[in-house]
Amino acid sequence: MSPPDQPPFDPEAVPTEAIVSRGGRDLRLTWANGEAAVLPSETLRLRCRCAWCTRDRIQGRFPESFPAV
């Protein structure tokens, strides 16, 4: 466990910028060290682990793709 004066996560792991592209097709994350990543919105949606999506996976109702995301 982290000491009380330390955050429970690595502050360097938190992006300094998050931009949704026009049309919402992807999310661009940038970190303080200049590294960047572009995440397609369909990939984010397919990997969602919220309770609703998890339930739908268990019940076999989760879509295999989200082409219109």
Can you give the residue ranges of every domain in the chain? 14-58
Radius of gyration of the chain (CA): 16
Residue 3 has pLDDT above 80, yes or no: no
Separation of alpha carbons 32 and 15, rounded Å: 7
Return the closest-CA partner of residue 69 out of 33, 43, 36, 31.
43
| Type of residue at 4 | P
pLDDT tens per residue across span 20-53: 998 889 999 999 999 999 999 999 999 999 999 9
pLDDT of residue 49: 95
User: pTM of the full predicted structure?
Assistant: 0.67
- DSSP H or E run through 32: none
The span from the CA of 24 to the CA of 50, in Å, is 20
Tell me the percentage of the chain whose pLDDT exceeds 70.
91
Ranges of H-type helices in 1-69: 41-46, 51-58
